[in-house]
Amino acid sequence: MSSTGPDGYKVIQLPDFSNNRRGHQNVHSFFHQIALDEHLRIPVDNISLDALILVAYAKVLGMYCGATDVLLSLEGLDGTPSSFRLQWDEATTWLSALELATVALEQTEQQQRSGSPEVLEPAADCSPFIAAFRGSPWSTSCSPPAISALQSRGPLLVHARDGLLHLHSLSNRFCPSVSFMLLRQIVAVVVQALADATQKIAAPLHLNNDLASVVEALPEHERTTYYSHIPPARLATDYILPHSTFNPNAIAVQWYPDLSPDKLVLRTPEYLSYSDLNRTANRFARFLLGRGIFPGDRVAVCMDRDLIFHSVFFGILRAGGCYVPVSPNSLCASAVYDYITQIEPELPTERKFFIARNSLAKFVVMSSQSLAHDLFGDLSIDIHDISVQETISGMSDAEVDPVPPGNIAYMLYTSGAASFSAYVLERLIPSL
């Protein structure tokens, strides 16, 4: 999530790691600490521990956000923040970054002593800081931060004191396990930077497997062994196969047709079991194959999200097609819909037509109530049409011959682009 902040900054918020999908009515803070090894407490070559932690902190947060330009709040004794901005490219070394951090910390200390800190004023609707840092000179007499302070300076505060590294986080942005993981990652990066400060800050980090993404940490043939509860899969769609065999009646999809906040009634969900999802996906795949689909053919989908959508989505992939999401009208303009498609809920008719045409879609699967039937002409497949439903129901639900794993599986048009031609392609190879 990003917005425009002061002085032309593009404010990027940290991802939501709270694991809470029901809202955050009562926000509270978590506190974690970890002991620092003895050798980290002694400055080396005039490099202070605070500077090391500050740069490592910025580097880790940048990795979480996919950014190489990070603005942190430096907290003082009275809670008034000054700022530290770290930018890096392929040529930036840890040593040069540490020098910048050292200067920033010294200036902050001088400003605190003089009583005239230089403050970067936040915009009216956002804080310019991604998170906060408190240097050790101000940690001994500083109490834990108030929740309001964390909300205004960023959802995290890191500081060192008495040989310990402390982290405070907000529950509406971080769950405890992720907070502690982030703290351990900061320490690991400090150790790596201290080992060779001349190395490039943009160079890949060498973290232990329990601190790194499995995709980055392990060779491809070992990735599936790291999560023993997830069986190996050749294709992304194959993840449902073990469930459909060994636990066929387990719920694969739980769908709430109505999430309207103005309806104070008990919402009753609809269900689709793994067995039903597997069988209906195979039937729709055979339906598309019978209509002449070939590997890599684009199939645009412009339908309201319901149980049928999930069968359509898996069926397209199993037939070897490439799924192209096209937003229908505002009937499903909800946060849940936006999360699934990653496309704006309401699109102009010409935009929908453009996506179908520009993607070279062979078919456009649509709902009866979502669009006028003549919008896509002969490309249209009305999934709720009785004759279409009867044809699909008559198809075999046996497993479909597997498609090559390198097939293009997903074509996503980005929203907000100056040109309508911006899109992203994803392949069918599974990843963890």
- Cα–Cα–Cα angle for 278, 282, 283, nearest 5°? 120
Is the pLDDT score of 116 beyond 80? no
Query: Residue 330: which pLDDT band, with cuts at 50, 70 and 90?
Result: very low
Q: Classify residue 23 as exposed, middle or buried by CB count within 10 Å of its CB (0-12, 13-18, 19+).
A: exposed
Is the pLDDT score of 11 beyond 80? no
How would you classify the pairing of strands 298-302 and 322-325? Answer: parallel
> Nearest to residue 35, comparing CAs of 209, 212, 190, 194?
190
Q: Which two tokens stand for residue 83?
A: 């700022």
- Cα–Cα–Cα angle for 86, 217, 87, nearest 5°? 10
pLDDT above 90 covers a percentage of the chain that reads 25
User: Do 259 and 22 contact (CB within 8 A), yes or no?
Assistant: no
Is the pLDDT score of 337 beyond 50? no
Mean pLDDT of the chain: 76
User: Do 367 and 331 contact (CB within 8 A), yes or no?
Assistant: no
Interval 390-407 mean pLDDT: 90
**Given this model, what pLDDT does residue 141 score?**
46
Is the pLDDT score of 87 beyond 60? yes
| pTM recorded for the entire structure | 0.53
Those residues whose C-beta lies under 8 Å from the C-beta of residue 112, and which sit 6 or more positions away, are: 76, 77, 78, 138
Query: Which residues face 200 on adjacent strands?
Result: 93
Instruction: Give the whole-angstrom CA distance, residue 255 versus residue 275.
Output: 16
Instruction: Give the whole-angstrom CA distance, residue 194 versus residue 196.
Output: 5
pLDDT above 70 covers a percentage of the chain that reads 67
**Given this model, what pLDDT does residue 345 score?**
37
**Given this model, what pLDDT does residue 57 score?**
92
Instruction: Give the whole-angstrom CA distance, residue 84 versus residue 104.
Output: 6
**Given this model, what pLDDT does residue 332 score?**
34
Of 371 and 275, more confident: 275
**Given this model, what pLDDT does residue 14 score?**
79
What structural domains and CATH numbers belong to the chain?
2-212 (3.30.559.30), 236-427 (3.40.50.12780)
Is the pLDDT score of 120 beyond 60? no
- How many other CB atoms are there within 10 angstroms of residue 32's CB atom? 19
pLDDT digits (tens, 9 = 90+) for 288-319: 999 999 999 999 998 877 889 999 999 999 99
Is the pLDDT score of 226 beyond 80? no
Query: Residue 429: which pLDDT band, with cuts at 50, 70 and 90?
Result: low
User: Do 118 and 104 contact (CB within 8 A), yes or no?
Assistant: no
Interval 16-29 mean pLDDT: 67
Question: Phi and psi (nearest 5°) for 153?
Answer: -105, -10
**Given this model, what pLDDT does residue 334 score?**
32
pLDDT digits (tens, 9 = 90+) for 174-217: 888 888 889 999 999 998 888 888 999 988 888 887 787 655 55
User: Do 224 and 230 contact (CB within 8 A), yes or no?
Assistant: yes
Instruction: Give the whole-angstrom CA distance, residue 231 versus residue 228.
Output: 7
